Structure 1
Amino acid sequence: MSQEGIFLDSAPADQLQSDVKEKKGRSRLGVIVTGVLGGSLVALYAVAAPFVAPALRKVCLPFVPATTAQVENVLGVLRARSGTLVDIGSGDGRIVIAAAKHGFQASGFELNPWLVWYSRYKALREGVHRSTAFHISDLWKVSFAQYSNVVIFGVPQMMDQLELKLASELPSTAKVVACRFPFPTWVPENTAGEGIDTVWVYDAKAFKSHLQHGMTRKTTPEHEDTPESHT
């Protein structure tokens, strides 16, 4: 057989091997691409889930960073205060860290673990990690009885429920500072700022008395006769 014939006979075999190698290369590339995409989706879910999950709750605190004016207003209305302070829904920790720098033993409660870890890092970087604490927790499952100063960036849907919780837990010496939205029935003793930077200050002695009065009215029959006095 001539050399030309041998070449022609071997050409299909070479082509077949080339096709097999090309298919294996494509298959390997597909596996790599699938792995990368899958890993990216898992990573995206891991990062996004802590932000999305709270939003799926019936009542949640969305993360909206406090403005510089809001932080200054909070510290301003609490300038004569001291002791323990808690920020409910502490976000990236800026209120807690600022309060610690002004002498408070400050804590933050936040449902998003990424924000809590970032807050801890910021506190360490700012040198106030010994006077701050950040907790991953649902605010409805925590007692705030140990705090004498409370800061809350709430939403309207939760403020009436939070009124009852704080009134039943806080000591009568406590002060509560509401940012962005006031409490629905409490009467503030002071306000500071304007617009979205407004803060409302409430005295625990006043709203605890209001709660007790309301509970008394609920437990007392409307048409109960007042007993006559006997001398």
Structure 2
Amino acid sequence: MGPWAWAAVALAASCFAMPVYLGAPYLPTLSRHREELLDLSGIERGQTVVDLGCGDGRFLRAAAARGVRGIGYEVNPVLWAVSKAVLWSRRDLVSVRFGDYRRHPLPEADLVYVFLRQERMAELAAKVAAEARGPVRLLSYCFTVPDRTACRSLPYAHLYCFGAERGHGHA
């Protein structure tokens, strides 16, 4: 392989390694779980979900199919481009932003969805609690928020309620 090929391999590897360092390796939400996660979240048509680390946009696409508005954040430029392309036909409902969600204030949302490593969950919960503009739910695929009780759970997901929640109780 020539030097340009090695440089391309190194660039691609760094695109996928950086999110691992930031706490969110690329592991797409399993297709068999997407609808159950949306059901667990209680998100309804016309509401907004923010997907922190949206990867290739699969979860946002499933939410948009239900009439849910979505905002995704992605730090991997390859996955950002893929999600932009995949979600192009749903651009009326969904936007994808390139960047680290930790460096931006959370947009107003009804639901925050994340597949984030365990060691980053307390930091995320603090951000949601500090920046939420009203009641918001945090849906975590796989990992738990330390020192907080989920208002609803599945064996592979946990829903946390911040603020007064309509019909979901709060922690």
- Tell me how far 1:172 sits from its aligned partner: 3.1
Counterpart of 1:28 in structure 2 is: none
Q: Map residues 19-38 of structure 1 onto 2, 5 A cutoff.
A: 37-38=2-3
Q: Map residues 35-46 of structure 1 onto 2, 5 A cutoff.
A: 37-46=2-11
| 1:116-147 Cα shifts (integer Å, max 9, x gaps) | 100111112xx312211111111211211411
SS in 1 for 2:51: strand
Of the three residues 57, 60, 83, the one matched with 1:93 is 57
Q: Map residues 54-203 of structure 1 onto 2, 5 A cutoff.
A: 54-55=19-20, 57=21, 59-79=22-42, 81=44, 82-124=46-88, 127-192=89-154, 194=155, 198-203=156-161
| 1:80-105 Cα shifts (integer Å, max 9, x gaps) | 53411111111111011111111111
- Tell me how far 1:200 sits from its aligned partner: 1.2
CA contact (8 A) 1:70 1:199 kept: no
Structure 1 pair 80–47 and aligned structure 2 pair: CA distance change class (3 A): closer
Q: Which structure has the highest strand share of the two?
A: 2
Query: Quick one: percent identity of the two aligned structures?
Result: 23
Give the TM-score normalised by the residue count of structure 2.
0.87
Give the TM-score normalised by the residue count of structure 1.
0.66
Structure 1 residues not aligned, in runs of 5+: 1-35, 211-231
- Tell me how far 1:187 sits from its aligned partner: 1.2
Report which structure shows greater RCO (CA 8 Å, sep ≥6).
2
| 1:129-183 Cα shifts (integer Å, max 9, x gaps) | 2211111111211211411211111111101111111110113321111110111
CA contact (8 A) 1:171 1:204 kept: no
Q: Which amino acid aligns with 1:141?
A: R
Larger Rg: 1
CA RMSD of aligned residues (A): 2.0
Runs of 4+ aligned structure 1 residues displaced above 4 Å come to none
Aligned length: 166
- Tell me how far 1:71 sits from its aligned partner: 0.9
Q: 1: CA distance between counterparts of 2:115 and 2:147?
A: 17
CA contact (8 A) 2:75 2:98 kept: yes
Q: Which structure has the highest helix share of the two?
A: 1
Structure 2 residues not aligned, in runs of 5+: none
Q: 1: CA distance between counterparts of 2:115 and 2:43?
A: 21
Q: 1: CA distance between counterparts of 2:120 and 2:164?
A: 20
